[in-house]
Amino acid sequence: MKNGTIYFRDGDLVAKSGEVRVYEMEGSLYMESGRGTLISSDRDLSDYIWQISSKPFGNCLVIGLGLGVASKYILSLPKVTTITTIEESKDVIKTQKEIFPINDGRLKIINTDYLPYLYKSGSRFDFIFVDCYNIIDETTFPLIADIVVACKRRLSKQGVLIGWLDSSTPEVFIDAFYKLFTLD
């Protein structure tokens, strides 16, 4: 602990696979990759409820697994028939299944790269949620933009496409982020 600050790594290590670790602290789970990069927390549920709301329906796609909190929330909604969740990291998938398993036959988790899947898949989705980044900044924004363009190709005619907006996103990126998800 530095200067009395409590950081999630001060919690108990409850799962590990490769460079992915999950810590439990004060009743919450925190998933990190590498050296302290927070990639998911079950505390994000309130953000998901606010951002996703009751928009998901039909055949859904989630880009990014993390702890599976978004996928689990989407599965709780009555209009959802199936959900495909794409995750690039085998370690994230393994750790998520160990610490926060989702036992629902409507969920299919696929370990693959996001962009090739989106361009090669012939599937159409009624709802797509993009959540494969831990921050929105000058480094991640171009990748997010590429993923959104590819997602629009997979979206059904009346489909809904949204992305997770991190509450610590610099203000300069917020309008541009929302414009990415505008459907023409």
Give residue-wise pLDDT tens across range 165-174: 877 777 888 8
Whether 57 and 79 have beta carbons less than 8 Å apart is answered as: yes
Strand order in 58-63's β-sheet? 107-111, 80-87, 58-63, 125-130, 155-163
pLDDT confidence bin for 111, thresholds 50/70/90: very high
pLDDT confidence bin for 2, thresholds 50/70/90: very low
In angstroms, the CA 56 to CA 53 distance is 8
Whether 85 and 108 have beta carbons less than 8 Å apart is answered as: yes
In angstroms, the CA 20 to CA 38 distance is 10
pLDDT digits (tens, 9 = 90+) for 32-58: 988 677 888 898 898 899 999 999 999
pLDDT confidence bin for 97, thresholds 50/70/90: very high
Determine the straight-line distance between the first and last CA of the chain, rounded to whole angstroms.
49
Entry pTM: 0.91
pLDDT digits (tens, 9 = 90+) for 127-152: 999 998 888 888 888 999 999 999 99
pLDDT confidence bin for 29, thresholds 50/70/90: very high
pLDDT at 1: 40
pLDDT at 53: 93
pLDDT at 5: 52
In angstroms, the CA 140 to CA 86 distance is 18
Whether 14 and 24 have beta carbons less than 8 Å apart is answered as: yes
103 token code pair: 């036992």
Map out the domains of the chain as residue ranges: 8-41, 45-180
Q: Does domain 45-180 have CATH number 3.40.50.150?
A: yes
